[in-house]
Amino acid sequence: MRIRMKTTYATPERSIDAGKVADLPDKEARDLIAKGFADPADADPAEGTARGRDTGRKRRAKAAPAGDDPEPNVGGNGDGDDTDDGE
CA distance to 33, 49, 81, per residue, from 72 (Å): 54, 48, 13
Phi, psi dihedral angles at 28 (to 5 degrees): -65, -45
pLDDT (0 to 100) of residue 38? 96
Domain map (residue ranges) of the chain? 2-47
Cut 0.85: pTM above it: no
Q: Which residues pair with 61 in a beta bridge?
A: none
- In a 13 Å sphere around the CA of 12, the CA atoms on its Cβ side amount to 0
- pLDDT digits 0-9 by tens, 4-43: 999 999 999 999 999 999 999 999 999 999 999 999 998 5
